[in-house]
Each structure stands twice: as structure tokens, then as C-alpha cells.
Amino acid sequence: MYIIRHRSLFFWITGLFLAGAVGAILLWGLPLGIDFTGGSLMQVSYPQGRPALADIEKQISALPLGVVSIRSSGTNAISIRTRTMTPAEHDTVLAAISSHASTTELAYTSVGPALGSQFTNKALWAIFAVMLVIVFYIAFAFRKVSRPVPSWGYGLTVVAMLAIDIIVPTGFYAAYCHFTGAEVDSLFVVALLALLGYCVNDVIVIFDRIREHLARNEKLGLKESFEDTIGKSINETMTRSINTALTVALALTVLIFLGAPATRNFALVMLVGIVIGTFSSIARSAPLLIPIAKWFAKK
């Protein structure tokens, strides 16, 4: 019952997280990768040791490519980001940086500007559509419990929560990008989508408990305040929420430390999202139903 009694405290904590995340996004922005903006990205390694970045910059600056950003990645590798290059331009860059040292090109990606903006569109649509369907499904699944909150109220609560569950890790990633130079790529979008799936499941488990208690109280004619029902449901599902989050978090931590570099940022976003999501489903999702119920009682 601790959480229900102190629910305003948890709302405040949530607000703080949300403000921090929105602040980070507004302050530092999300550096969009070439998947979104278009452009070319080369990853090159120097097997015999990497020359100074300034030297590499000098080799490239002679080429008519406009603004080029060069960053080191790993011990002996660099990544070069430019505007969208033609295959011929890509070859000249490769030749330019290989003039004094032997290089191996690890990966090269080039995205046309039109395709980039389309990816952004599609990603936003997908997230939006998934949320919409979740509202409808939950409204349907909870159709038999319409007091004291109408069944679509559960759906809306879940979506409000999901929005927060996505904004907070996004804010974290904005800060992470700012300090490490990482960029928002398509795997980041995949991570957000996976989080959506995880968090919905998490809330449904708690709501399912509330649904069960409400149905039983009605059947047995028991009088119990909505707050007590919610408090009981949260307590009963707490071990499950924490244990599940712990197992997934363990798997992700392993992925961060032992997995491929390509999935490291993905796993990190997921990890933050799952910790936040678990906190949010325990401390916020169900308590959020109480003010909604009060609002409906007034009407």
C-alpha cells in the first residue's frame, strides 16, 4: 500500500524524470544518423595503428565533399560521415586515406536524402499505430470491468504511460549521444519498439490483477475501495515485475559487455527503458487510475 499512499511522491518522481528527459532532448537534441538524414558513413580500420585524426582530416579536406566529420571508433578504427557520396567519390575517399597507411574498410553505408526522411515518417507512423491498436485491444480486453473506470480508461492510461516510457529513454539517449558522440540510428527505433512491447506486457499484468479483484469483489458483493484494490494488485504482482525485469536486464547487461559493438547502444537503450518501464508500471500506471476514477465519480 506504500505506493498508493505516497502516490503523489511517485508522480513527482515521474515528473522529474520526464522533465529531465525532455530537457535533455531540448538542450542537446537528438543527433540523427544517416538513416534519417541521408548521407554516407564509412568505417575504416587501420590494422597497423591509426594515424592522428588531424592527419586523416588533412587527407580528406582536399576532396570537394563539404563538411566531413571524422571520429575514432574502437582502438584502431575511424568512422567518416559525409553527405551522400556517389560510388566514385567513395572510392576517392578510400584512396585518399589509404595513401600513407594500409586500411581495411569495415563497412560503408550511403543513404539518399529522400529515403532518409521516409524512414523517419515510417518509424513515427509505426509507433503511433502500435499505440492506437493497444488502446483498442485493452479497451476490449477490459470490457467487462467498467467501474469505476471505463474500460477505455485503462487503454488510455497504458498509452499515457507508454509515451513516458519512450520519452525517458529517448532523453537518456540524447544525453548519451551528447557525451559519447553516438547517433540515433534505425536500431534505436527498433529498441523503442521493443520497449513498447515489453512495457505493455508489464502493465497488462498489473491491470489483469485489478480486473481479477474487481470481478471477484463484484461476484462476492465485497465492498473495497478502488485504492485498496489497486494497492493490493500492485503488491501481489511486484515480485513478478521485478523478477522479470531482472532477468531481461541480466541478458541485456551481458549483451552490452560481451555482445557485438553494433548492438551495444541498442542494449543500453533497452536496459534504461526496462528499468524505467518497470518503475513506471509499478509506481505509476495503476496509481494513475485513481485520479481517473475520481474524475469519473465526479461526473
Partner 1 sequence: MTRYRVFAAIALIAGFLLTYFVWSTEADPYSAYHFKLGLDLAGGTELVYKADMSQTPPDERSDALSALQGVIERRVNLFGVAEPLVQTEQASALSGVTEDRLIVDLPGVTDIKAAVAALGETPTLEFKLATTTRTGTTTATTYLSTGLTGRYLSSAALEFGSGATAGLAAPQVLLNFNSDGAKLFEKITSENVGQPLAIFLDGQPISEPIIQEAIPGGQATITGRFTATEARDLVRNLNFGALPVPIELENSSSVGPTLGAAAISAGVFAGIVGFIIVALFMIGWYRLPGIVSALALAEYLAFMLSVIKVIPVTLTASGIAGLIISVGMAVDANVLIFERTKEELREGKSPREAVHIGFSRAWPAIRDGHLTMIISGIILFWLGTSIVQGFALVFVLGVLASFVSAVSLSRVFLLAIVPEHKEGLWSFLMGSGGHNA
- The letter for the amino acid at 95 is A
Do the Cβ atoms of 56 and 68 come closer than 8 Å? Answer: no
The only residue of 143, 243, 291, 295 in contact with partner 1, by rule CB under 8 A: 243
The only residue of 13, 25, 63, 190 in contact with partner 1, by rule CB under 8 A: 190
Binding flag, residue 9, partner 1 (CB under 8 A): no
Q: Interface residues for partner 1 in 58-117 (CB under 8 A)? A: 86-88, 90-91, 104-112, 114-115
Rounded Cα distance, 121 and 117, in Å: 6
Q: Which residue has the cell 534504461?
A: 272
Binding flag, residue 29, partner 1 (CB under 8 A): no
289 closest CA partner among 243, 246, 238, 228: 228
* Residues contacting 112, CB < 8 A, separation 6+: 38, 84
If the CB atoms of residues 13 and 194 are measured against partner 1, the closer one turns out to be: 194
Do the Cβ atoms of 103 and 122 come closer than 8 Å? Answer: no
Reported as half-sphere exposure (CB side, CA atoms, 13 A), residue 208 has a value of 9
Q: Interface residues for partner 1 in 135-174 (CB under 8 A)? A: 137-138, 141
If the CB atoms of residues 9 and 133 are measured against partner 1, the closer one turns out to be: 133
Binding flag, residue 209, partner 1 (CB under 8 A): yes
End-to-end CA distance of the chain: 27
DSSP structure string for 123-149: HHHHHHHHHHHHHHHHHHHTTT--SSS
If the CB atoms of residues 69 and 86 are measured against partner 1, the closer one turns out to be: 86
Binding flag, residue 244, partner 1 (CB under 8 A): yes
- Closest contact distance (angstroms) between CB of 285 and partner 1 is 14
SS3 218: helix
Q: Interface residues for partner 1 in 212-231 (CB under 8 A)? A: 212
Count of residues in contact with partner 1, rule CB under 8 A: 72
Which residue stretch of 24-32, 262-270, 280-288, 289-297 sits at the interface with partner 1 (rule: CB under 8 A)? 262-270
Do the Cβ atoms of 119 and 36 come closer than 8 Å? Answer: yes
The only residue of 64, 99, 258, 299 in contact with partner 1, by rule CB under 8 A: 258
If the CB atoms of residues 217 and 263 are measured against partner 1, the closer one turns out to be: 263
If the CB atoms of residues 13 and 65 are measured against partner 1, the closer one turns out to be: 65
